Homo-oligomer: A and B are copies of this chain.
């Protein structure tokens, strides 16, 4: 198999992870790293001897010896860099979210289709072993009809200088919901605030409404004292908890959903007193680094000339929800139709 030569654009927080995984993925070859900052270029050179290191993303994109680029630069630059790469005939892997607006995301999708190159968005959590295991559990039908998804992703940190907590953190969880739930949302509400004197919202609550009554809710927060990454997924037959911080049992499936047979008030009250009802099981799952599966999927999609699992369509859907959430945030939480 011909090696795909990949250039990594941006070597800040996520770039080093992309570079490392690209270097170790069969079918990919880490060929170049570009970053404007000298200290980051020095770090890249130390860790990846033999890889070309440049200060310009543009020249890396244009280099003939580059077949593809992986973009890990600030959100506002996703669009211009991805467009330039696609127009230069290069395959593109973009850090989430795909772009800063639905219009940008759609434009990239159309351009890639026209140019016949692969456009993939790095929705990392979709490749996480626990999340893929949950998709398998949903597919088995054991949860029954899905009722709601409740997600909490909070930690202490102030990271994006050019966007708010929704675009940074909720992008992960909306991508996960997009992957797990086949129905498509109809509207989005959001409330939030930019606290402690910051320019962008650092705490937000997003509600995603579906035509069939399914409800998605997302709490994202940069001002939390502890790191919580927890998801509840309620089904009529069974429900599950996905706690990404639990070193032992990330996924727990509870065998009681909503029991219609309990009519008696006292009996139902008894359930309240319990911490849980019914048996629980915690399936094992693939514990490989999710990003290694992202880069492997990028390699396969290019080699097989097919859409990647998280291609332009998924990227556009997630950006659409993010855009609607931000619009709701600017309109006192009103529902914004997608």
**Measured between C-beta atoms, what is the minimum distance from A281 to chain B in Å?**
4
Contact of A156 among B155, B224, B276 (CB under 8 A): B276
Among A158, A277, A335, max chain B CB count under 10 A is at: A158
A297 an interface residue at 8 Å Cβ cutoff?
no
Contact of A157 among B272, B280, B283, B332 (CB under 8 A): B272
Contact of A159 among B154, B234, B257, B268 (CB under 8 A): B268
B residues in contact with A221, CB < 8 Å: 150, 232
A167 an interface residue at 8 Å Cβ cutoff?
no
With the chains together, A262 CA to B157 CA distance in Å? Answer: 10
Contact A333 B207 (CB under 8 A): yes
With the chains together, A236 CA to B225 CA distance in Å? Answer: 11
Contact B148 A223 (CB under 8 A): yes
Stretch at the interface among A102-110, A188-196, A305-313, A315-323: A188-196
Contact A223 B239 (CB under 8 A): yes
A1 an interface residue at 8 Å Cβ cutoff?
no
A287 an interface residue at 8 Å Cβ cutoff?
yes
Contact of A279 among B240, B283, B333 (CB under 8 A): B283
With the chains together, A221 CA to B150 CA distance in Å? Answer: 10
B residues in contact with A158, CB < 8 Å: 258, 262, 268
With the chains together, A213 CA to B50 CA distance in Å? Answer: 52
B residues in contact with A265, CB < 8 Å: 12-13, 159, 161
B residues in contact with A256, CB < 8 Å: 156, 225
With the chains together, A191 CA to B325 CA distance in Å? Answer: 14
Q: Mark A193-204, 1 if CB is under 8 A from B, else 0.
A: 101110000010
Chain A: interface size category: 35 or more
**Measured between C-beta atoms, what is the minimum distance from A228 to chain B in Å?**
8
A65 an interface residue at 8 Å Cβ cutoff?
no
A55 an interface residue at 8 Å Cβ cutoff?
no
B residues in contact with A275, CB < 8 Å: 226-227, 245, 247-248
**Measured between C-beta atoms, what is the minimum distance from A67 to chain B in Å?**
21
Contact of A225 among B191, B227, B254, B284 (CB under 8 A): B254
A334 an interface residue at 8 Å Cβ cutoff?
yes
With A223-B147, A256-B156 known as contacts, the answer to whether A281 contacts B284 (CB < 8 A) is no
Q: A12-B266, A197-B260, A225-B240 are in contact. List 13 more A-B contacts (CB 8 A).
A: A150-B219, A152-B152, A157-B271, A189-B333, A191-B217, A195-B213, A217-B219, A223-B239, A225-B241, A225-B254, A226-B276, A281-B282, A332-B335
**A residues whose Cβ falls under 8 Å from a Cβ of B:** 12-13, 49-50, 147-148, 150, 152, 154-159, 161, 189, 191-193, 195-197, 203, 205, 207, 209, 213, 215, 217, 219, 221, 223-227, 232, 234, 236, 238-241, 245, 247-249, 252, 254, 256-258, 260, 262, 265-266, 268-269, 271-272, 274-284, 287, 332-335
A sample of 18 cross-chain residue pairs with beta-carbon separation below 8 angstroms, ordered by A number, consists of A12-B265, A13-B269, A49-B49, A148-B195, A154-B232, A156-B277, A157-B269, A157-B271, A158-B258, A196-B260, A205-B205, A205-B217, A221-B232, A225-B238, A226-B232, A247-B275, A280-B281, A281-B281
